């Protein structure tokens, strides 16, 4: 088969590799129909994830058809069209039973293994460990593009932003950063009952997209943004929930400054530098700060929301490519601002 293979910082090529085979009775092999590129893949190409070694097939999202199953697989069968979860899980260890599948002990404490510790989904075929737990049948009426957004991006924004932020009916929610994760938080915050969702970004296209995804208000990042956000909060006192979806010290600080007493900051951004927490100011403010890696346990719930028309993940897709256009797809996604790209879809045409 062919696959996108990582060969060190700055290099990944579409090349011939051996077909995957079953290694455990709980495995399945899936023929990929539709996949995408994540910001994490760009971090890998920059050399930011040293655990990814030369020869690793990239990718951790996708929809495909099961072509082979191990003897212990019972929930999916050959011929099933399935969504591949970005998080693999045994569902037997303590962490999995607690819902912290992203820290599956059986897998060494990390559920994100596709395109990281084992070969991933940017390929014609992929081996899926613990297939009964990591594959979700794609219902009739749900498109492969919609399903692909359930692999990672939608659960990330929903779980780490909306659920960890405890977004409740009537809340005023701030989302700082209107990239894919932020937009997933915007979309699912509205479907979770938020009365007002304020999106902040420095890019006019992303703010326009945020409105389409359900934001009631948008604020252009800049010196006056915090004042504008607080004015949109409860009686000018700030917001109930602030979701950080960028990963910069400045945007984390804005979230802390924007919440009211008793407010909550849900950090979904990936940080590469330390941030400051002014505990001398905030110890008295009864605030909550959460962090997390997606567990992807909410995909079935989000799938129901798609079928009920509550959310429309197809809105993420701005560009489409075939498997023979991987280089172009990566180039477009790496220049997302210039190309007005949110998520790119790559299909095995």
Question: Which of 165, 127, 174, 157 lies closest to 299 in space, CA to CA?
Answer: 157
The string of pLDDT tens digits covering residues 275-325 is 999 999 999 999 999 999 999 999 999 999 999 999 999 999 999 999 999
pLDDT band at 112 (very low <50, low <70, confident <90, very high): very high
Question: Which of 8, 57, 13, 10 lies closest to 327 in space, CA to CA?
Answer: 13
Which of 42-46, 111-115, 154-158 bottoms out in mean pLDDT, i.e. has the lowest? 42-46
Task: Tell whether the model's pLDDT for residue 145 goes beyond 90.
Answer: yes
What is the pLDDT at residue 283? 97
Q: Could you give the C-alpha distances from 161 to 48, 107, 274, 339, in angstroms and in order?
A: 24, 25, 20, 26
β-pair type (81-84, 62-69): antiparallel
Which parts of the chain are beta strand (E)? 2-6, 12-16, 28-36, 62-69, 81-84, 125-128, 135-137, 172-176, 196-201, 217-220, 239-244, 259-267, 288-290, 317-322, 343-347
Task: Tell whether the model's pLDDT for residue 165 goes beyond 90.
Answer: yes
Where among 266, 290, 314 does a domain terminate?
A: 290
CATH number of the domain where residue 29 is located: 3.90.180.10
Quote the CA–CA distance of 98 and 297 in Å, as a whole number: 11
What is the pLDDT at residue 289? 98
Question: 327 and 272 in one domain?
Answer: no
Tokens of 302: 């989000």
Contacts of 324 (CB under 8 A, 6+ apart): 14, 349
Question: 87 and 22 in one domain?
Answer: yes
Question: 316 and 243 in one domain?
Answer: no
Quote the CA–CA distance of 125 and 64 in Å, as a whole number: 9
Question: 133 and 72 in one domain?
Answer: yes
- The domain of 267 spans 157-290
Where among 290, 307, 333 does a domain terminate?
A: 290
Question: 41 and 7 in one domain?
Answer: yes
What is the pLDDT at residue 117? 98
Quote the CA–CA distance of 255 and 90 in Å, as a whole number: 35
Phi, psi of 122 (to 5 degrees): -85, 65
Q: What percent of the chain has pLDDT over 70?
A: 100
**Burial (CB count <10 Å: 0-12, 13-18, 19+), residue 281:** exposed
What is the pLDDT at residue 139? 96
Question: 273 and 184 in one domain?
Answer: yes
Question: 52 and 131 in one domain?
Answer: yes
Phi, psi of 251 (to 5 degrees): -75, -35
What is the pLDDT at residue 349? 79
The string of pLDDT tens digits covering residues 254-271 is 999 999 999 999 999 999
Where among 245, 274, 290 does a domain terminate?
A: 290
Tokens of 17: 């590799």
Question: Which of 247, 295, 257, 291 lies closest to 277 in space, CA to CA?
Answer: 257
Question: Which of 82, 59, 78 lies closest to 68 in space, CA to CA?
Answer: 78
Q: What percent of the chain has pLDDT over 90?
A: 97
Q: Is 198 helix (H, G, I), strand (E, B) or coil?
A: strand
Question: 239 and 332 in one domain?
Answer: no
Task: Tell whether the model's pLDDT for residue 171 goes beyond 90.
Answer: yes
Question: 189 and 284 in one domain?
Answer: yes
Question: 143 and 6 in one domain?
Answer: yes
Phi, psi of 234 (to 5 degrees): -75, 110
Give the mean pLDDT of the chain: 97
Question: 235 and 191 in one domain?
Answer: yes
Q: Considering its fold, how many domains does the chain have in total?
A: 2
Task: Tell whether the model's pLDDT for residue 340 goes beyond 90.
Answer: yes
pLDDT band at 103 (very low <50, low <70, confident <90, very high): very high
Question: 25 and 148 in one domain?
Answer: yes
The string of pLDDT tens digits covering residues 198-247 is 999 999 999 999 999 999 999 999 999 999 999 999 888 899 999 999 99
What is the pLDDT at residue 235? 83
CATH number of the domain where residue 219 is located: 3.40.50.720
Q: What is the mean pLDDT of residues 63-81?
A: 98
Distance of CA 229 to the CA centre of its chain: 25
Biggest alpha carbon distance in the chain?
A: 62
Neighbouring-strand partners of residue 347: 34, 322
The string of pLDDT tens digits covering residues 130-142 is 999 999 999 999 9
What is the pLDDT at residue 265? 98
Contacts of 263 (CB under 8 A, 6+ apart): 238, 239, 240, 241, 242, 285, 287, 288
Q: Is 127 helix (H, G, I), strand (E, B) or coil?
A: strand
């Amino acid at each position: 088969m062919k696959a996108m293979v990582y060969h060190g910082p700055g290099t990944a090529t579409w090349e011939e590799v051996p077909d995957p085979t079953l290694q455990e009775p709980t495995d399945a092999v899936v023929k990929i129909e539709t996949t995408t590129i994540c910001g994490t893949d760009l971090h890998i190409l920059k050399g930011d994830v040293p655990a990814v070694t030369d020869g690793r097939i990239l990718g951790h999202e996708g929809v495909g058809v099961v072509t082979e199953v191990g003897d212990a697989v019972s929930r999916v069968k050959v011929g099933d069209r399935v969504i591949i979860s970005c998080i693999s899980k045994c569902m037997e260890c303590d962490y999995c039973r607690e819902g912290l599948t992203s820290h599956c002990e059986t897998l060494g404490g990390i559920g994100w293994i596709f395109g990281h510790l084992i070969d991933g989904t940017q390929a014609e075929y992929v081996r899926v460990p613990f297939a009964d737990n990591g594959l979700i049948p794609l219902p009739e009426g749900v498109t492969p593009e919609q399903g692909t957004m359930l692999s990672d991006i939608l659960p990330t924004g929903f779980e780490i932003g909306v659920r960890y932020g405890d977004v409740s009916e009537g809340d005023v929610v701030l989302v700082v950063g209107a990239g894919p994760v932020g937009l997933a938080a915007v979309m699912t915050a509205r479907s979770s009952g938020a009365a007002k969702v304020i999106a902040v970004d420095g890019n006019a296209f992303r703010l326009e997209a945020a409105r389409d995804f359900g934001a009631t208000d948008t604020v252009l990042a800049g010196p006056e943004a915090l004042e504008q956000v607080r004015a949109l909060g409860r009686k000018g006192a700030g917001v109930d929930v602030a979701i950080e979806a960028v990963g910069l010290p400045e945007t984390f600080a804005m979230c802390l400054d924007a919440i009211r007493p008793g407010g909550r900051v849900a950090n979904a951004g990936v940080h590469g530098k330390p941030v400051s927490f002014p505990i001398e100011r905030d110890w008295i403010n009864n605030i909550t700060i959460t962090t997390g890696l997606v567990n992807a346990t909410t995909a079935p719930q989000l799938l129901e929301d798609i079928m009920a028309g509550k959310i429309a993940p197809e809105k993420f897709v701005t560009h489409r490519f075939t498997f023979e256009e991987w280089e172009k797809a990566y180039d477009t996604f790496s220049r997302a601002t210039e190309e007005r790209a949110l998520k790119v879809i790559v299909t095995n045409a």
